């Protein structure tokens, strides 16, 4: 369902989607159950001629069970959600697979600059390819990225990767992703960063190895002119 709306384009996208589905299912189940119970009781115990209201202290064991048993089950559900969330967090934010390629991302009001490795395959050398609002990556390659801001808080959001990371001025934040799907996708700033925040978008191009090499060649030739 989520895949239908926003295609899954990274190795961890499916894990994030599953987490969302589990949370929605667990919370949805209890929501429907409690709302159903609430509505049923409103009708079943409505005011009736000759029936007096009853005072319940909440201490009667046979009534208290209605609170303690669901309470215990909900805590168990919480444990399941926490274990699932920590596992995915570790995978996306703590663990970092071996690097295939690298990209340096600089945010500013209101544009993104992407520094790609040039023909030498190394970032931070004179042949780097800097492009505004266009990120070009190779499919099935592990990318390490670093995020910097020139001014205020921004957030690097790539919905198709299920990736969102705050960009904080004065800090260099690192992370990774591995694209799994060819095509052109959206990048959007997801942190209120001023008047043009809403249009601080960029395009993501996921290319085959050959396409990416051709792009590097084209950009390098253009720079040489």
Dihedral over alpha carbons 106, 114, 13, 109 (to 10 degrees):
40
Cα–Cα dist 111/114, whole Å: 10
Which of 16, 189, 190, 219 is close enough to bind Cu ion by CB under 5 A? 189
Count residues near Cu ion (CB under 5 A).
Answer: 4
CB of 82 to Cu ion, least distance (A): 31
* DSSP reduced 3-state for 225: coil
Which of 103, 200, 216, 219 is close enough to bind Cu ion by CB under 5 A? 200
Which of 154, 178, 179, 215 is close enough to bind Cu ion by CB under 5 A? 154
CB of 145 to Cu ion, least distance (A): 16
Binding mask 95-114 for Cu ion (x = CB under 5 A): --------------------
Q: Which residues contact 45 (CB under 8 A, 6 or more apart)?
A: none
What DSSP string describes 56-91?
A: --S--HHHHHHHHHHHHHHHHHHHHHHHHHHHHHII
147 is a site residue for Cu ion (CB under 5 A): no
What DSSP string describes 39-57?
A: HHHHHHT---TT-------
Stretch that binds Cu ion, among 17-25, 35-43, 76-84, 153-161 (CB under 5 A): 153-161
Residues forming the site for Cu ion (CB under 5 A): 154, 189, 193, 200
């Amino acid at each position: 369902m989520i895949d239908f709306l926003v295609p899954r384009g990274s190795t961890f996208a499916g894990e994030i989607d599953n987490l969302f589905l589990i949370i929605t299912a667990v919370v949805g189940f209890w929501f429907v159950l409690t709302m159903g119970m609430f509505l049923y009781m409103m009708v079943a115990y409505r005011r009736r001629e000759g029936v007096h209201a009853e005072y319940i202290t909440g201490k009667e064991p046979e009534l208290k069970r209605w609170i303690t048993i669901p309470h215990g089950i909900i805590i168990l559900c919480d444990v399941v959600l926490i274990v699932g969330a920590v596992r995915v967090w570790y995978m996306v934010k703590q663990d970092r697979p071996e690097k295939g390629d690298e990209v340096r991302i600089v945010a500013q009001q209101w544009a993104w600059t992407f520094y790609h490795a040039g023909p030498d395959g190394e970032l931070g050398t004179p042949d780097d390819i800097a492009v505004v609002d266009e990120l070009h990556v190779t499919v099935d390659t592990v990318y390490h990225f670093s995020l910097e801001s020139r001014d205020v808080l921004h957030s690097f959001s790539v919905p198709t990767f299920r990736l969102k990371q705050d960009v904080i001025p004065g800090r260099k934040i690192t992370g990774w992703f591995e694209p799994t799907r060819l095509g052109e996708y959206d990048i959007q700033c997801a942190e209120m960063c001023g008047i043009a925040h809403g249009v601080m978008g960029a395009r993501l191009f996921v290319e085959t190895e050959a396409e990416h090499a051709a792009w590097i060649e084209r950009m390098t030739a253009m720079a040489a002119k």
